[in-house]
A and B are shown apart, each in its own frame.
Chain A
């Protein structure tokens, strides 16, 4: 766990674990330390990162500045590896967006975490800095309904344009949906009841 790091704060809404979990020490802590020195509002989340990638939680208002700083400061993190979302319904800010960056000069990696919540969850878009962020941000918008302010083309990417709801949210039922065809002339059948999560029969 990262509790040995001074200045550690817990992610809001996250329950502390009773058993100490095993996690490797973060790799390349110097890159992380420099980030934390430069941006004192960032902190290391109290959470087990089992892959050892250095991680910082970033306030959304500072995200663009932090990423620009990472791109421009040695070792320059010049490859955007991935952006992904997750939904933790029990937390105060339920939507967690993770950014992974890679530095080709040193082959270090750093991970940033941003939280969003409320009626209309939104985060600043990285597309003006990084064209690679375009499709992954659209996917998070599609799957979680997190909007990205400043995105040039924010619309659904994997689901049909007229789809309702955001499939990867935990409250979206995982069940057999009636097959709907795009602009189908027949009205769709009654939807599967909400919360109709199929449990594996062997559970």
Chain B
């Protein structure tokens, strides 16, 4: 079906362009809405405005150089993207089980911090779309603290590129544990504040209850992922079913709901933030026993040698030179690395042809599949509900368009 402009059709319905510059389309999503009065009779999402050819570019970079490109896909939780690519590469290089424990624990802590940061943005903008401006400011305040932790460890607020094949780019600096501990101490009361503003707010309830309903069957049919899938009653979380980085050692619940509406997705994400706080606390506890341990594997063919080693040993210098000029070379093969990003199953599929550059890298963007279900959510609803529905599926166009 082709609908191109804001015109009146023969059947008397009106075609309305929503986006790509509409503030509540969260980036550059364009929706073509066919309206009868104020009721949506058809909805066609149009994506691709943010397509930057990241997958193509990665084919011309070696395995280490490609890491920096992964940040640019899902720009609200870059750490998850880094990690899913790195996990796939570790399978490809067959060093999956050799990654040091300290690196694993730090990876888990950072992933959960970025989950909180991403959920905070989602909560703030979702509430803003529905008219609650205060929550927006509060969420930004807390997210800023997380970003300054990222800046503290990597020097960059958003595009951290902190993961490396076989571990981390560098060890966390002195004082990291205290800063994270301080943050997770302050967060739960703040989440209570957000909930006080929204959870029983009659206006928020009116805008979210029984809106954008998606049944369990439909959620499976459209291949949904993450909180959207769990809000429709499917208990599937990659952290539990396919644990990575030692998630099996952490004790946490996976929130889910059978309601399947916008409100259910809100509740699932808010409860996920509280679970993330639990995981970070356990991670900090584990980190105490791992002081001074390795943060990267000691495999000079794959991981960069440390700075001190380069200064002292000729072999390290040669390895460093080879890794920078040529990069690590895996055996031919393919591997799919997955993790639970804030938006769902974030997968990276890497094909190797035995050269120093990936033959093909594919991101499995959870938002791509979640957005596919949008027409199902909004058809038959009012235009104002479209805004609530877009907010509730938490899209990031950077990863959808890549």
Contact = CB atoms under 8 A, between A and B. Distances in A.
A13 to B, nearest CB: 12
B275 interface: no
A162 B167 CA distance: 43
B83 to A, nearest CB: 15
A50 B335 contact: yes
B221 A17 contact: no
Contacts of A21: 331-333
A16 B401 CA distance: 36
Contact of B349 (A22, A79, A82, A172): A82
A53 interface: yes
A192 interface: no
Contacts of A199: 60
Contacts of A131: 221-222, 372
Given A22-B94, A157-B47, A84 B349 contact: yes
Interface string A60-97: 00000000000000000011111010111000000000
Given A17-B354, A84-B362, A158-B51, A168 B335 contact: no
Contacts of A132: 221-223, 369, 372
A157 B48 contact: yes
A174 B61 CA distance: 11
B56 interface: yes
A168 B331 contact: no
B92 interface: yes
Contacts of A160: 48
A82 to B, nearest CB: 4
Nearest to A174: B60
Given A19-B331, A48-B331, A81 B364 contact: yes
B201 interface: no
Interface in A143-171: 153, 156-160, 167-168
A203 B65 CA distance: 12
Q: Is the interface of B mostly helix, strand, loop or mixed?
A: mixed
Given A49-B335, A51-B336, A174 B325 contact: no
A127 to B, nearest CB: 11
A58 B301 CA distance: 36
Interface in B330-360: 331-337, 345, 347, 349, 351, 353-354, 356, 359-360
Nearest to A20: B331
Given A158-B51, A174-B56, A200-B65, A50 B222 contact: no
Contacts of B362: 82, 84, 86
A160 to B, nearest CB: 7
Contacts of A157: 47-48
Contacts of B252: none
A198 interface: yes
Q: Determine the main DSSP class of A at the interface with B.
A: loop
Interface in A11-34: 17, 19, 21-23
Nearest to A79: B220
B241 interface: yes
Nearest to A87: B360
B332 A135 contact: no
Given A104-B236, A167-B53, A158 B47 contact: yes
A48 B221 contact: no
A137 to B, nearest CB: 11
A48 B333 contact: yes
Interface in A163-203: 167-168, 172, 174, 197-200, 202-203
B65 to A, nearest CB: 7
A158 B56 contact: no
B369 A197 contact: no
Interface in B300-347: 324-326, 331-337, 345, 347
B242 to A, nearest CB: 8
Nearest to B219: A79
Contact of B337 (A51, A86, A153): A51
Given A135-B372, A158-B51, A203-B356, 19 more contacts: A47-B332, A48-B333, A49-B333, A50-B92, A50-B335, A51-B337, A80-B223, A82-B364, A84-B362, A86-B362, A88-B359, A104-B234, A135-B369, A159-B48, A168-B56, A172-B56, A174-B59, A197-B60, A199-B60
11 contacts: A22-B94, A22-B331, A47-B333, A79-B220, A81-B347, A82-B349, A102-B236, A134-B372, A160-B48, A174-B57, A200-B60
Q: Which 4 A-B pairs have CB atoms at the shortest separation, nearest pair first? A: A48-B333, A132-B223, A21-B331, A50-B335
